[in-house]
Amino acid sequence: MAEARGGSLQRSMQNHFELFGLEPAYALEPERLERAYREIQAKIHPDRFAHAGDAERRASMQWTTRVNEAYRMLRDPALRARYLLELNGVDVALETNTAMPAEFLIRQMEQREALELAAAERDAGALARMRTALRIEKRELQDAIAEQIDARRDYARAADPVRKLMFLDKLDAEIDAAFETMEG
C-alpha cells in the first residue's frame, strides 16, 4: 500500500469518474455521485485538518480542490458530456466550430430576440414560459447525448447535441440575467 511518492494517487487517477468510483458514462445517478462526493469530503476536507500541520493542511486543500472540481464537472450535464467527449478524443471546441445547423442558429437568434423583448417589456411571465420550454428542450438533448455516448459509443456524433446543449445553457443564464435586471 505504501507508495513510491506521496500524492501519486491524484496523478494516477485516470479521470473524474474513477475518483468517485463510477463508470465513465453519461447517464449517472445523482444520488450516488453525491454520496461518493460526501464520503470523500468527510475524510479530506480542510475542516478535518484545521489543527494539523502545514503539510497535511496543504495536502487536504489540494485534494479537496480536485474533488470539488471533479464534482462540479460531473454534476453538470453539459460539462459532463463535454468531459466524456474529451476523454474519448473529441474536442467540442464551441468557439471555433461554426458548423452548427443553420436552422438551430436561426432559432437561437429568434429566442434571443424574444428574450430581449420580454426583458424590455419587463414581462416576467414570458420569461418564465421561455424557461419552461427551454428546460424541455434541454432534457431532449440530454436524452440524445445519452443515446450517442452510452448506447452507440459514437462520440463524434454526440458532439452536435453537446454543442446545442451548451448554447441552451448560455440562453438559460441570459434568462437569469434578464430576471436580475428586471428586479434591479
Residue ranges in contact with other proteins by CB under 8 A: 1-3, 5-10, 13, 18-19, 21-22, 35-36, 38-48, 50-56, 58-61, 63-65, 68-69, 71-72, 176, 179-180, 183-184
- Closest separation in Å from C-beta 119 to other proteins: 15
Joined grid coordinates for residue 149: 455516448
Q: Which is nearer to other proteins, 68 or 88 (CB)?
A: 68
Cα separation, 127 vs 168, whole angstroms: 14
Q: Which is nearer to other proteins, 27 or 36 (CB)?
A: 36
Place of cell 434578464: 178
- Closest separation in Å from C-beta 180 to other proteins: 6
Q: Which is nearer to other proteins, 5 or 95 (CB)?
A: 5
Joined grid coordinates for residue 72: 462540479
CA-based end-to-end distance of the chain: 57
Cα separation, 94 vs 100, whole angstroms: 10
Q: Would you tell me how many other CB atoms lie within 10 Å of the CB of residue 33?
A: 19
Q: Which is nearer to other proteins, 64 or 111 (CB)?
A: 64
- Closest separation in Å from C-beta 106 to other proteins: 26
Cα separation, 101 vs 42, whole angstroms: 46
Place of cell 456524433: 157
3-class DSSP state of 92 = coil
- Closest separation in Å from C-beta 46 to other proteins: 4
- Closest separation in Å from C-beta 163 to other proteins: 21
Q: Which is nearer to other proteins, 50 or 99 (CB)?
A: 50
